[in-house]
Chain A
Amino acid sequence: MRHELNLSCEKSRLADLRLFLSKVLEPVGISEIAKNQIILAVEEVCANLIIHSHECNPKDCIHLKVMVHEQKIIFEIADSGLAFNLLEYQSPALSEVVRKKKKGGLGILLVRKIMDKIEFENREDKNICRLVKRLNSK
């Protein structure tokens, strides 16, 4: 199954994103905790793009594609803003977050802990971030 969503770059749209994702994940046989983790990871990537690459400009849009397979779910998040490569981003240590009283930096750490694979592609003027979550039938 393939699902798509266009999201304008406003923080207020994050709630719509969660609603979309929870509908997509509804038929997938995983726990509520796992669903929440997946929704969180996708939201963190989108929130980063909205805030940092697009500076919350509602005229900009990011495009999300979700491909649900039997063994895995693939999320493709495409935008044409300032490229932000998750893979090159160095997440801060927790102690540093506390010491510097930083309010950011935890999101990418969450994405790394939750997703099984993160890929980043820059094609022409389009950035694509691909997140893969394996569905282990344990």
Chain B
Amino acid sequence: MLEITQTKDEACTIITLKGEVDASNSVELDAAIQEAVKSGSKNILVEGNALEYISSAGLGVFMSYLEDFQESNISFIIFGLSEKVGNVFHILGLDQLITLVGNKEEALARIYEA
């Protein structure tokens, strides 16, 4: 089960993930990110406090947008991942390509200092 909610204010779009991302539902994550990009948001944050699991299908979705983010000057930050879920990003070294921070405050600080 995966629940995705998206909130947008002047500063950023926050995509909140709750549950598990796998090959059966990664298209939903893809659609959410695409929507955020299309909305013209320059700061896209993913909140992962309630994300319990992610497989390569979900990681692949993030990876497939990295070039778009760069081309469109979008800051993309994932925050709040548990140690267990964060570890999956570390195994592949994705933490070198995607900004991962502990909480929302840190994510916003990254945006404002940029």
Query: Considering only CB atoms, which chain B residue lies closest to A113 in the complex?
Result: B91
Interface size, chain A (Cβ < 8 Å): 30
Q: Which of A62-94 contact B (CB under 8 A)?
A: 94
Q: Which of A87-120 contact B (CB under 8 A)?
A: 94, 97-99, 101-107, 109-110, 113-114
Bound: A106/B23 CA distance, A = 12
Instruction: Please determine whether A106 and B60 come into contact, CB atoms closer than 8 angstroms.
Output: yes
SS of A interface (majority): helix
Query: Considering only CB atoms, which chain B residue lies closest to A99 in the complex?
Result: B67
Query: Considering only CB atoms, which chain B residue lies closest to A44 in the complex?
Result: B56
B88 lies within 8 A of chain A by Cβ:
yes
Q: Of B56, B63, B68, which contacts A107 at CB under 8 A?
A: B56
Instruction: Please determine whether A37 and B92 come into contact, CB atoms closer than 8 angstroms.
Output: no
Q: Of B65, B85, B93, which contacts A94 at CB under 8 A?
A: B93
SS of B interface (majority): helix
Instruction: Please determine whether A98 and B56 come into contact, CB atoms closer than 8 angstroms.
Output: no
Interface size, chain B (Cβ < 8 Å): 30
- B-side contacts of A12, CB under 8 Å: 24
Instruction: Please determine whether A102 and B64 come into contact, CB atoms closer than 8 angstroms.
Output: yes
B12 lies within 8 A of chain A by Cβ:
no
Task: Please list the 3 inter-chain residue pairs (A to B) with the smallest Cβ-Cβ separation, ordered nearest first.
Answer: A107-B56, A11-B24, A103-B60
Residues of B participating in the A interface, judged by any CB pair closer than 8 Å:
1, 20, 22-24, 26, 30, 53, 55-57, 59-61, 63-68, 83-85, 87-88, 91-94, 97
A and B contact pairs by CB, cutoff 8 A, 12 listed: A11-B22, A37-B87, A37-B88, A37-B91, A40-B88, A101-B68, A103-B26, A103-B30, A103-B64, A106-B60, A109-B56, A113-B91
